[in-house]
Amino acid sequence: MISEPLLHRMKILVVDDDRMTVTLLEQLLQRNGYTCVLGVTDSRRVLDTCTNFDPDLILLDLNMPEVDGFAVLEALRSDGSETFLPIVVLTADITEETKARALDAGATDFLVKPVSQTEALLRIRNLLETRRLHLVLENQRSALEEAVRERTAELRGTIAELQAVNQQLQGSSAFSGA
């Protein structure tokens, strides 16, 4: 299990058109040690906010004016990124159709409004742990790929040197045999 201080420094974006819901979630998270929490009430700003804030987890309302949560989910998932970004849907609509549509659009999990504080905190902690592990694995994968590139370049250099020596040896044996 990852230490709480590491998780508490991870970035959480709260997206809901209801300012009171955003404020309550921000306060809940901050009271429980999360230090990087940002709330957005205009769903049209989510993509730009994600680019600038680079959240580790998003709490996303589905029912919003202008751009609904489904459209936000689809836009966030359409970038083709393979990096794991947990998106927890906040909704009062728990119909199978809504669940299926949200999961199909890329939701990671659900929190039903009104949100249970205990459940929300546990799900957030678990998803942040998962996100952190994915980031560690991604960093290790990148480091291994770089090591393989470097070693491959070294091996190619060694092969080229051996080929040059081999050609010299073949040239000198052809010369001595004449």
pLDDT value at 7 more than 80:
yes
Q: Is residue 57 part of a domain?
A: yes
| Bigger pLDDT: 15 vs 7 | 15
Q: pLDDT (tens digit, 9 = 90+) per residue, 21-66? A: 999 999 999 999 999 999 999 999 999 999 999 999 999 999 999 8
- How many domains in the chain? 1
Domain region containing 79: 4-136
Return the structure tokens found at 79.
């970038």
Burial 126-146 (b: 16+ CB within 10 A, else e): ebbbebbebeeeeeeeeeeee
Q: pLDDT (tens digit, 9 = 90+) per residue, 137-154? A: 888 888 888 888 888 888
The CATH number of whichever domain residue 129 belongs to comes to: 3.40.50.2300
Q: Is residue 149 part of a domain?
A: no
Q: Contacts for 39-42 with beta carbons within 8 Å, 24 or more apart?
A: 39/13, 39/14, 39/15, 40/13, 40/14, 40/15, 41/15, 41/16, 41/17, 42/17, 42/66
Q: Is residue 166 part of a domain?
A: no
Q: Is residue 120 part of a domain?
A: yes
Q: Is residue 101 part of a domain?
A: yes
Q: Contacts for 148-155 with beta carbons within 8 Å, 24 or more apart?
A: none
